[in-house]
Amino acid sequence: MSEDVLSDINLDYLRKRFIKYTRKAFQMLPKLEKPRILDIGCGSGLPTIELAKLSDGEIIGIDIDQFKLDKLNRRIEEEGFSSRIKTFNCSIFEADFPEESFDIIWAEGAIRIMGFEKSLKEWHRLLKPHGFLVVHEEINMVSNKLEKIPGWDYKLRDHFSLPEDEWWTDFYKPLEIQIKELFLKYKNNSEALKILKKYQNEIDMVKRNPKEYTSAFYIMQKS
Ligand X SMILES: C[S@@+](CC[C@H](N)C(=O)[O-])C[C@H]1O[C@@H](n2cnc3c(N)ncnc32)[C@H](O)[C@@H]1O
- Which residue ranges make up the site for ligand X (CB under 6 A)? 15, 41-43, 46-47, 62-65, 68, 91-93, 108-110, 113
Sheet of 154-161: strand order equals: 85-89, 58-63, 36-40, 102-108, 127-138, 215-222, 154-161
Beta carbon of residue 57, minimum distance to ligand X (angstroms, whole number): 17
Nearer to ligand X among residue 42 and residue 120 (C-beta):
42
Helix axes 46-54, 66-79, angle to 10 degrees: 30
Supply the minimum distance, in Å, between the C-beta of residue 85 and ligand X.
14
Q: How far is the CB of 70 from ligand X (least distance, A)?
A: 12
Nearer to ligand X, 62 or 203 (CB): 62
* Contact criterion met (CB below 8 Å) for 128 and 103: yes
- Least distance CB 192 / ligand X (angstroms): 19
Nearer CB in complex with ligand X: 103/108: 108
Q: What DSSP element (H or E) covers 76?
A: helix 66-79
> How far is the CA of 132 from the CAs of 59, 66, 168, in angstroms?
14, 27, 30
Our CB check for ligand X shows the closer of 25 and 149 to be 25
CA 72, chain centre distance (Å): 13
> Buried b / exposed e across 86-110, counting CB within 10 Å, b at 16+?
ebeebebeeeebeeeebbbbbbbbb
Query: For residues 76 and 110, which CB has a smaller minimum distance to ligand X in the complex?
Result: 110
* In the complex, minimum distance from the CB of residue 17 to ligand X, in angstroms, rounded to a whole number: 12
Least distance in angstroms from the C-beta of 206 to ligand X: 13
Q: Are 39 and 61 a contacting pair, CB within 8 Å?
A: yes
149 DSSP 8-state letter: T
According to DSSP, the β-strands at 58-63 and 154-161 are unpaired
Distance from C-alpha of 160 to C-alpha of 183, rounded to nearest angstrom: 36
The nearer residue to ligand X, 15 or 128, going by C-beta atoms, is 15
